Amino acid sequence: MRGWRWYVAVGCMVVPGLLAAVALAGPGRAVDWTSVAPLSDAARQRANKQAAGRDAARLLRRVVLPPGAMRSAGEPAGDGHGLAGSGSFPADTRHVDRHGWWTTTQPMSVVNAFLHSHLPVGARIDSYGGGGLPPYLYVAYGFPPVGRVLGIRWLVVAMVGLSSGGTALRADAKVQWIVPRPRAERIPGSVRVLDVTVGPPHGQPSTRAGVVNRAKVARVASWINGLPTAQPGAWSCPSWSVDAPVVTFTFRRALGGPAVAQATELAAATEPTTPCDAMTLTIAGRRWTPLLGGAAVVRDAQRLLGVRLVRRATGDAGRRV
């Protein structure tokens, strides 16, 4: 039996440093961090947050409302405060919200049908529904992420019927900014030996392999170094068995030398991984922010090294709350 536990993804460490104004080159275009130096971790996070603010403003301008809808300076009178709040967003996610209010003389049923048939440019309908007091309806549009700068991008339009027969609306553009992976969270290029094991975390491994081919060691290290970090947020995760096999990559500078870095991933994990089954990474004894994409590294390493590492999946990878 597996129960459920609550898990909050750990945010990236912020290292103080030079702040730099780095903008998105335009809608849908991400910053190429490798071309901008030096940038501290704090500067990159600040730039991503600023980019999220600009993107949210752009998304709000994309909202398509029925002809004749009038912009309101504040929450429309008569909505019973049904449009006072911005609605939900994945818990503990770092994001920016830009919003506005409108009114129209058209009834809510007509407005709702219009919103379902007139999508903003580049959007898809992620969800829709309603409820509450006063009764309201909403349509949530989703947009694709932008590189490693912007994550979840939503445009949510909520509506409440007015006693006059018209409709009050609130549109919220919510954009998650990505907390960058710290520059120090890297396996050093000086590693020369890789030990790979598969087995329970605190038991004897069922599979063990040693790799001294420098090119292969460097390749596996580069795959791990290229992974993004798990972002802050709340997830409902299955309680994995304490005996669930994990794949452990241990990097050393020489045969028999001390571990320089160690990465672990559930052997049954599949892509896309979540904070529930993220890869752990320890460098020089320090545990860093968990990484996403570790299942792909295990699969690719299995192919590269010719050693069976992947195990059959055993259950749910978790869900966002």
Instruction: Please give the chain's pLDDT, 321 residues, in tens.
Output: 333 333 334 333 333 332 233 333 444 444 443 444 467 889 999 999 999 999 999 999 999 999 999 999 999 999 999 999 887 777 778 899 999 999 999 999 999 999 999 999 999 999 999 887 788 999 999 999 999 899 999 999 999 999 999 999 999 999 999 999 999 999 999 999 999 999 988 788 888 999 999 999 999 999 999 999 998 877 777 766 667 899 999 999 999 999 999 999 999 999 999 888 999 999 999 999 999 999 999 999 999 999 999 877 554 555 554
130, 111 in Cβ contact below 8 A?
no
Which tokens go with 240? 């994995």
User: What contacts 252, CB < 8 A, 6 or more positions away?
Assistant: 191, 192, 193, 194, 195, 258, 259, 260
Please report, for residues 8, 68, 89, 201, the alpha-carbon distance to residue 321 in angstroms, rounded to integers and kept in the order given: 10, 37, 9, 28
Chain center to CA of 217: 28
235, 5 in Cβ contact below 8 A?
no
Which run of H or E residues covers position 316?
A: none
292, 228 in Cβ contact below 8 A?
yes
Q: What is the C-alpha to C-alpha distance for residues 285 and 165, in angstroms, rounded to an integer?
A: 65
Predicted pLDDT at 1? 33
The domain limits of the chain are 33-177, 181-320
Predicted pLDDT at 30? 43
DSSP class of 229: B
Predicted pLDDT at 22? 34
β-bridge partners, 172? 99, 156
Q: What are phi and psi of 279, to 5 degrees?
A: -80, 135
281, 288 in Cβ contact below 8 A?
yes
Q: What is the C-alpha to C-alpha distance for residues 218 and 192, in angstroms, rounded to an integer?
A: 8
Predicted pLDDT at 318? 53
Nearest to 250 by CA among 164, 313, 192: 192
Predicted pLDDT at 13? 31
Q: What is the C-alpha to C-alpha distance for residues 196 and 211, in angstroms, rounded to an integer?
A: 8
β-bridge partners, 97? 174
Q: What is the C-alpha to C-alpha distance for residues 277 and 117, in angstroms, rounded to an integer?
A: 38
Burial of 103 (0-12, 13-18, 19+ CB in 10 A): buried
Sign (positive or negative) of CA dihedral 185, 189, 191, 193: positive
230, 278 in Cβ contact below 8 A?
yes
Which tokens go with 82? 């049904």
Q: What are phi and psi of 29, to 5 degrees?
A: -120, 125
Nearest to 287 by CA among 248, 261, 257, 266: 261
14, 58 in Cβ contact below 8 A?
no
Q: What is the C-alpha to C-alpha distance for residues 295 and 318, in angstroms, rounded to an integer?
A: 15
- The two most distant CA atoms of the chain are separated, in Å, by 80
Predicted pLDDT at 241? 61
